[in-house]
Amino acid sequence: MFRDRAEAGRALAAELAPVLSGPCVVAAIPRGGVAVALPIVERLRVPLTVAYARKLTAPFAPEFAFGALDEDGQMVLDPESVAGLGLGPDDVEKAKAWVWAEIQRRMTLYRVPPLAHHLPGAAVVLVDDGLATGLTMRAALEYARRHGAREITVAVPCAATEAAERFRRAADRFVSLIVDDAFTAVGTYYEDFSPVTDEDVVAMLARAQQLAAPADPPEPGLRVSFKNSLGRELAGLLLVPASGGPHPVVVFAHGWGSGKDSPRNRAVAHALRAEGFAAFLFDFTGHGDSGGTLEESTPAQQVDDLGAALDLLEALGDVDGGRMGVVGASSGAAVALLRAAEDARIRALVLRSANPEGAEAAAPRVKAPALLIVGEHDAPIRILNEELLRHLGGPRRLEVVPAGDHLFAEPAALRQASALTVGWFKKHQQKVE
């Protein structure tokens, strides 16, 4: 038995320290998992983030999980539990909607980027204060796999035997200090199992930020801030080639829940910079380091934010305001389409894993050359992009990248997507004399 979650975390840290190597990030399942994870990052001096996965429950059985939801909106379900509770599809969707709203609330409150911002490539340690059914941990593990984690360790102070066996198979490494055939509840393994509040989590995350060594060297580039029409401060990063300008510039419109720190967009931005393009990454309202709330970050507001970014760049001396392009990723592609339909300053578009929902009617008004890039393994988005291709009003092309998924987590697929992006802007952002 552990005195409290902090003692359990220190014991886990002692087990993990000899076996972990290379770039690593600890991702804790809130709220109790954060209290266990803090002593681990204190020992290892690695970044701490939050795995925003949360269990799905029925209103009449709030302690009994029948599944879990992650921050991508992906569900894992236990069919036996769903059937045992007598739940129909509508019941599942209602539970999903409630949990999704709670995940968004936590993302806004905790202001810690999702685990995907550290991926692909890093090793991930997933931490919770115990495993009973393990459904929430399963959702977090599948999320980490989907986003390209190099190695996944599941680390908990205590676990039911059945859950332990499951994660020994599913994870690259499983560490549990107690595995019990007679497991009943996580709290029985702690003398003090007091509730962890949101305020506690915020304080612990702030402490972890002070402790962790930087995962990467400082990002080259100019950090800037600018305002949207609401007067909210938006945060951006401008990457400019070493050679003299003015340079053509590409602006990145990120997807929901992402931001300027997206490793995929960063990789493409550096590829563009190497070929003589300036690249501008920024956070939409309510995302990353920008002001405002997620509730304010409507599609219309994001279109306004993108316009404000173009206004800023048009006034800078290092970039050529007559040669501006936009990369839109996932839901950011819809924002790019809506802006391009009304803004002639956008000379070319690249839409990666585009979800055009809400922008379909604008597509015929988009005259800028548009390249659509989808992954081979992203079948639903591919179908949407094939339909979008038929309605765009200007030159357009669809490229399907082998081995690519929605997030282009596979390195070779991301490299190909980057090369296609650079090639498209080289072709369509030539200087007009």
**Domain architecture of the chain: domains with CATH:** 5-211 (3.40.50.2020), 222-428 (3.40.50.1820)
Q: How far apart, in whole angstroms, are the C-alpha atoms of residue 54 and residue 236?
A: 31
Residues of the chain with pLDDT under 70: 21-22, 212-220, 430-433
End-to-end CA distance of the chain: 75
Q: What is the pLDDT of residue 120?
A: 82
Q: What is the pLDDT of residue 244?
A: 78
Burial of 218 (0-12, 13-18, 19+ CB in 10 A): exposed
Give 371-430 pLDDT, tens digit per residue: 999 999 899 999 999 999 999 999 999 999 998 888 887 788 899 999 999 999 999 986
HSE toward the beta carbon, residue 77, CA cutoff 13 A = 19
Q: What is the pLDDT of residue 422?
A: 96
**Cis preceding-peptide flag for 339 (omega within 30 of 0):** no
Token couple for 391: 């309605």
Q: What is the pLDDT of residue 136?
A: 95
Side chain identity at 47, as an amino acid letter? Answer: P
Q: What is the pLDDT of residue 216?
A: 46
Compute how many other C-beta atoms are within 10 angstroms of the C-beta atom of residue 83: 10
Q: In angstroms, what CA-CA distances link 331 with 259, 305, 356, 359?
A: 12, 14, 7, 10
Q: How far apart, in whole angstroms, are the C-alpha atoms of residue 407 and residue 213?
A: 27
Q: How far apart, in whole angstroms, are the C-alpha atoms of residue 273 and residue 425?
A: 12
Q: What is the pLDDT of residue 119?
A: 83
Compute how many other C-beta atoms are within 10 angstroms of the C-beta atom of residue 27: 31
Q: What is the pLDDT of residue 22?
A: 67
Compute how many other C-beta atoms are within 10 angstroms of the C-beta atom of residue 300: 11
